[in-house]
A = this chain, B = another copy of it.
Amino acid sequence: MAASSSLTVSQALVGRKISGINTSSRSQSLPGFSLSTLSGRTLKSSLISSIASSRSNRVNTPSLSRSLVVRAAAVETLEKTDTALVDKSVNTIRFLAIDAVEKANSGHPGLPMGCAPMGHILYDETMRYNPKNPYWFNRDRFVLSAGHGCMLQYALLHLAGYDSVTTEDLKTFRQWGSKIPGHPENFETPGVEVTTGPLGQGIANAVGLALAEKHLAARFNKPDSEIVDHYTYCILGDGCQMEGIANEACSLAGHWGLGKLIAFYDDNHISIDGDTEIAFTESVDTRFEGLGWHVIWVKNGNNGYDEIRAAIKEAKAVTDKPTLIKVTTTIGFGSPNKANSYAVHGAALGSKEVDATRKNLDWPFEPFHVPEDVKSHWSRHTAEGAALEAEWTAKFAEYEKKYSEDAAEFKSIMTGEFPAGWEKALPTYTPEIPADATRNLSQTCLNALAPVLPGLIGGSADLASSNMTLMKMFGDFQKATPEERNVRFGVREHAMGAICNGIALHSPGFVPYCATFFVFTDYMRGAMRISALSEAGVIYVMTHDSIGLGEDGPTHQPIEHLASFRAMPNILMLRPADGNETAGSYKVAVENRKRPSILALSRQKLANLPGTSIEGVAKGGYTISDNSTGNKPDVILCATGSELEIAEKAAGELRKEGKTVRVVSFVSWELYDEQTDEYKESVLPAAVTARVSIEAGSTFGWHKIIGSKGKAIGVDGFGASAPAPIIYKEFGITSEAVIAAAKSVM
């Protein structure tokens, strides 16, 4: 079994090389059509269909030799299966989904019923994976961007032999403690690559996964050893297509020429509110052509297996562009009374309709039953997967011998083990060092870390020169230079975050970072929350972090953003005050591989303060100066970031007046929360209720720190357009205000 499978794999590799056809010359040989001058879905569809069929005609030979063609496609993947068995396998997938949703009395049967054919062909005939090691590095990645249809993926993982989805698991769908929750969650179900459900995220994750593959392949593959070589497959629906994030991500995928990204668009014409005609009449095909994708239309996604196979073959032959395979399906295929309607999208069919569907599809089996021949057919994936991994492992062992330096870097990315002592590369600062903006200090850290962290890769949403995010020793990741590590995301914040999630979840040693102005986290919050939920350790480099950015005014000045992220679970909100705290924030961010970090950084220059430290940042809140004894200061001044300097100045004045004053930096509330009660008492003794906070942002949440008797100085309205020092003064973010507040609470 192992031998025959490795033969098949070699064939597959050969097949891929042979089929490298120049697509642009092909498309230029298609004159006479003017897609742009015709309008309407039907006209365009028929045109594209004729193009698609003429394309396959040219690649293959027509009509009679069709079965031969398909055999060729099957050889390129794994092996040919007879159609009756495919039908049976496809119906198994459909009914596993139907039965699980029915038992849960909750879920989305429609998509799995419609997409089961493409799902079968992907997991049974196309993808390379090892079900007993879902984390094998060189596996093909699959993303269900239409995450509500997760029973499709769970059924496929079950058939493929993943231990994460047993028959018993299928019966627990959407129940407390289940391994198969209501939407795909990578942290719950091995075999699920990313967390989807919020629409559009998945396709953007897929772009990140494909970027990661293209980058690693270009950086590490050698002419005699291709250790990185896998595809990224994605299924997205009409809902994903409507989301702006999907357009952003797909524009980048086209720009980057991610030829190994193959996305299936489940074109079923139904969304929750009914026929897509009511809100979605654009030509997706034309749009994707504009985005630089290769577009194929499979007209019969319900049982046109050969069409699907041919489309995958064609997609693989196009190596310089991502491919969108539009697969027209019937949502809820097989349900006599609910197919092709929104009724089958998001609710159990109901026992009567389940029975009718069983009858309609000639499915005599009990719920959750997998027929023996189907089971037997799929069972080969366990051995084949093991063989695939073994073959790759052997190949990598060879690689390691020949290319030990590259192999070490590659292994760091593959395993997540960073080179020992990497953190020593971080700079430290003393108060004598001139003031600087933390955005600049951040760039110093990034450039210090880039040589010691092989997986550090990232960039900005068209603000590299403002966010200060370029790694100066590297060039740009581009279509022709994918081995480089500076990524240019364009003005696409939401896709940027989701692409970084994809990179982070591709391999544990990737440390992706991305950047924009802090206020524009509003544009990418959907992706940032998924970072937090899916344990993707993305570093968000967010500059221009307050009214301190000045003249750009209130549209650009964050106010509520610190509070809004402090309230978000499993994300670290860090606001460093100077050089040491910026370095400390990076140390924390890099170390937290299962928790994303946000660094809020200043546009304006900030003094290096005495008392700040990398170690202090790790505590989240720590004393930077204190002239009290016995843990009983007259007043405690709390601040973060650019206002720590103001607090320190106020403390100096108050001390001159004979007061004992402690200044505490609250650089990360989450890290502080994790400290022991004893430590917390040493920083914020319960007996000292005279506390003042100052932060150039919303005071919301500060009362937890300063208590009922404390005073919070901040900005609770929107900002203003003016030079920063004037805004600070007018808004009362001053040491004078701190002094007055301190006196009022002492």
On chain A, the number of residues with a Cβ less than 8 Å from chain B's Cβ atoms is 128
Does A153 lie at the interface of the complex (its beta carbon under 8 Å from any beta carbon of B)?
A: no
Does A269 lie at the interface of the complex (its beta carbon under 8 Å from any beta carbon of B)?
A: no
- The answer to whether A721 and B178 touch across the interface, beta carbons within 8 angstroms, is yes
Q: Which residues of B contact A175 (CB under 8 A)?
A: 721-723, 726
- The answer to whether B462 and A104 touch across the interface, beta carbons within 8 angstroms, is no
Q: Closest B-chain residue to A184, C-beta based?
A: B555
Which segment of A23-31, A322-330, A588-596 sits at the interface?
A23-31
Does A63 lie at the interface of the complex (its beta carbon under 8 Å from any beta carbon of B)?
A: no
- The answer to whether B281 and A290 touch across the interface, beta carbons within 8 angstroms, is no
Given contacts A271-B491, A563-B701, A700-B566, contact A289 B36 (CB under 8 A): yes
Q: Which residues of B contact A552 (CB under 8 A)?
A: 182-183, 197
Does A278 lie at the interface of the complex (its beta carbon under 8 Å from any beta carbon of B)?
A: yes
- The answer to whether A555 and B183 touch across the interface, beta carbons within 8 angstroms, is yes
- The answer to whether B563 and A569 touch across the interface, beta carbons within 8 angstroms, is no
Does A185 lie at the interface of the complex (its beta carbon under 8 Å from any beta carbon of B)?
A: yes
Measured between C-beta atoms, what is the minimum distance from A737 to chain B in Å? 18
- The answer to whether A273 and B465 touch across the interface, beta carbons within 8 angstroms, is yes
Which segment of A225-233, A248-256, A636-644 sits at the interface?
A248-256
Measured between C-beta atoms, what is the minimum distance from A555 to chain B in Å? 4
Which segment of A64-72, A212-220, A448-456, A523-531 sits at the interface?
A523-531
Does A39 lie at the interface of the complex (its beta carbon under 8 Å from any beta carbon of B)?
A: yes
- The answer to whether B525 and A522 touch across the interface, beta carbons within 8 angstroms, is yes
Interface residues as binary, A433-472 with B (CB distance below 8 Å gives 1, 0 otherwise):
0000000000000000000000000001011111000000
Q: Which residues of B contact A247 (CB under 8 A)?
A: 244, 247-248
Does A488 lie at the interface of the complex (its beta carbon under 8 Å from any beta carbon of B)?
A: yes
- The answer to whether A551 and B106 touch across the interface, beta carbons within 8 angstroms, is yes
Interface residues as binary, A283-298 with B (CB distance below 8 Å gives 1, 0 otherwise):
1111111111000000
- The answer to whether A555 and B567 touch across the interface, beta carbons within 8 angstroms, is no
Q: Which residues of B contact A251 (CB under 8 A)?
A: 242, 280, 282
- The answer to whether B252 and A243 touch across the interface, beta carbons within 8 angstroms, is no
State the CA gap A146–B544 with chains docked (Å). Answer: 19
- The answer to whether B567 and A698 touch across the interface, beta carbons within 8 angstroms, is yes
Does A199 lie at the interface of the complex (its beta carbon under 8 Å from any beta carbon of B)?
A: yes
Does A181 lie at the interface of the complex (its beta carbon under 8 Å from any beta carbon of B)?
A: yes
Measured between C-beta atoms, what is the minimum distance from A31 to chain B in Å? 6
- Interface residue ranges of A545-598 to B (CB < 8 Å): 550-556, 559-560, 563-564, 566-570
Given contacts A243-B244, A290-B283, contact A523 B526 (CB under 8 A): yes
State the CA gap A279–B465 with chains docked (Å). Answer: 15
- The answer to whether A569 and B107 touch across the interface, beta carbons within 8 angstroms, is no
Q: Which residues of B contact A726 (CB under 8 A)?
A: 175-176
- The answer to whether B272 and A465 touch across the interface, beta carbons within 8 angstroms, is yes
- The answer to whether B252 and A279 touch across the interface, beta carbons within 8 angstroms, is yes
Does A246 lie at the interface of the complex (its beta carbon under 8 Å from any beta carbon of B)?
A: yes
- The answer to whether B559 and A272 touch across the interface, beta carbons within 8 angstroms, is no
Interface centre among A238, A495, A533, by most B CB within 10 Å?
A: A533
Does A492 lie at the interface of the complex (its beta carbon under 8 Å from any beta carbon of B)?
A: yes
State the CA gap A464–B279 with chains docked (Å). Answer: 12
- The answer to whether A107 and B551 touch across the interface, beta carbons within 8 angstroms, is yes
Does A708 lie at the interface of the complex (its beta carbon under 8 Å from any beta carbon of B)?
A: yes
Q: What is A's interface to B at a CB cutoff of 8 Å?
A: 24, 27-28, 30-39, 51, 104, 106-107, 147, 174-178, 181-183, 185, 195-200, 238-240, 242-248, 251-252, 254-255, 271-273, 276, 278-292, 342, 460, 462-466, 476, 478, 488-495, 519-520, 522-523, 525-526, 529-530, 532-533, 550-556, 559-560, 563-564, 566-570, 689, 698, 700-701, 703-704, 707-709, 716-718, 720-723, 726-727, 730
> Can you list 8 A-B contacts (CB < 8 A)?
A174-B721, A181-B720, A197-B553, A243-B492, A282-B290, A564-B564, A700-B704, A707-B707
